[in-house]
Structure 1
């Protein structure tokens, strides 16, 4: 009995040993398969990476070739007039003192220190500052025969046009013939946002400039209808606008904050009314704010 028991015990032990060996062999085989698969995956991944890199390189090269063939070389940014230490002193003094003090009287407008402070930091421009600046643009066109002959409406024109229609604005042009001008600037106030519309009679266009990329077809149509009504009222003949281009201009500088819309609008007008390429950007706005303070205080634009 004891002998049989020992034999069974030995047999079971040997069977267990064989099982352990077989298990080790299976584990080793699986490890080899894993290592082999890992090596294959790494090689495959490297091949894919090289293919993607080559495809990207090919695309970039093709894009550069197309750009060289189709897109003209960009013009250098306009060199802006540098503000001197003496000019900066005038600018600094404009912000110091009684906010209610009138600093400038011109164009039947009074600009107070409080008005000028809307040009400081990231403040929103008010109507007085924008209207005064539009008058500076008009004055420059009168004094510079080589510049487009320009007229500008004030900031209250567009809201009244929408409210009362062209008939509500007939008296606004008693002393001016719009159709003798090359360009008309119309500041557009949308409650919390300033934009600029430009009528250019030279190429028969009405264009809308929004530094936040918006479109305003209603504005474009309203201005076209205003021109038709104004011509009929003042000239007593229909005005053919069938060839006019109405455009929401998109390829223009965009503001990177919520407060520089008025600055962008005025700067669009200043550039366009001297037929300058629009090359400024958001980073130029602190400079333009200081420049505008100096221009308003002295009563003339720096760029003649």
Structure 2
């Protein structure tokens, strides 16, 4: 869609006009001031991005529970549309970058990083630009996405080191099939959606990580990350370039960008996405 439904838009307008508006979920709080940063030409702040990451986490948890309880193929297909993911909040990268692994080692005391398909990380670069990264266990690589086309090897190297330290800190040797030293690197660059201004980067981060958390619902969910279909054709465009988005599990070849699958947003969608995120925050959950 290019716009919210009339009732949804009315709710957004009420929120923006109510200076006392505030909402909380476990792990995140947003106020009128925070969501007002989603007005046109504003830079999203930490609170709204953290709220959005928390909603992705909650959807992932719900999907896992619903898959377990699913009794029909339709339900399995519906809830198989989402990966097992954990999104760190907007402060994780800054903490890891400036203070090192020990400063964030306790952040996962209740989370098994290695049981996830992906770990998703919003990155605030010097309070001047939002980018994002993913530790992709299915593809065994660290991915970096920048809506201004940048490549940041420092972020990728730090996340590889984080993975190595997390493994040593949380797991006994040989208990998981993860070798951080063998993880590759992927830079989305200009293959991922790109902004055409200086203020939409936070919205691009939310949209990018939300899409990375989902799979193509036309393909069955594979419970075992180690059994990911490695058909390279499904990962390449017409020129053989790796596209970095996994839209499938076992049971078929995923459509590549060249055969119909593509990122589901662009710069043109940013006005809508800003209003949509406000509405989703107000509902404490992501729209379908």
For this structure pair, what is the TM-score category when the shorter chain's length is used for normalisation?
0.7 to 0.9
Question: Does the Cα contact within 8 Å between 2:131 and 2:201 map onto a contact in 1?
Answer: yes
CA positional deviation for 1:141: 0.9
The answer to whether the Cα contact below 8 Å between 1:153 and 1:187 also exists between their aligned partners in 2 is yes
Corresponding residue of 1:195: 131
| CA distance in 2 between partners of 1:280 and 1:168 (Å) | 35
Cα deviation 1:244-267 (Å, max 9, x = unaligned): 121221211110100000000110
More helix by share: 1
**Residue 105 of structure 1: aligned partner:** 24
Secondary structure, counterpart of 1:95 in structure 2: helix
Q: Work out whether residues 217 and 248 of structure 1, in 8 Å CA contact, stay in contact via their aligned partners in 2.
A: no
Alignment match, 2:146: 210
Match runs of 1:287-298 below 5 Å: 287-298=272-283
Q: 2:201 & 2:97 partners in 1: Cα distance? A: 21
Determine whether 1:282 maps to 2:218: no
RMSD between aligned residues: 1.5
How far apart are residue 143 of structure 1 and its match? Answer: 1.3
Give the distance between the partners of 1:179 and 1:102, measured in 2 at CA.
38
In structure 2, the partner of 1:247 is: 186
**2:131 and 2:147 in contact (8 A); partners too:** yes
Q: What is the match of residue 226 of structure 2?
A: none
TM-score (norm: length of structure 2): 0.74
8 Å CA contact 1:263, 1:285 repeated in 2 = yes
Contact in 2 for aligned 1:81/1:302 (Cα 8 Å): no
Residues 206, 246 of structure 1: 8 Å contact kept: yes
Distance in 2 separating the partners of 1:111 and 1:158: 20
Tell me which of the two structures has the higher relative contact order, counting C-alpha pairs closer than 8 angstroms and 6 or more residues apart: 2
Post-superposition shift, 1:102?
4.0
| 2:163 counterpart of 1:163 | no
- Provide the TM-score with structure 1 as the length reference: 0.70
Gaps of 5+ in 2: 65-79, 217-261
Q: Pairwise mapping of residues 222-241 of structure 1 onto structure 2 (< 5 A)?
A: 222-237=158-173, 239-241=178-180
Distance (whole Å) between structure 2 residues aligned to residue 242 and residue 270 of structure 1: 27
Gaps of at least 5 residues in structure 1 are: 1-79
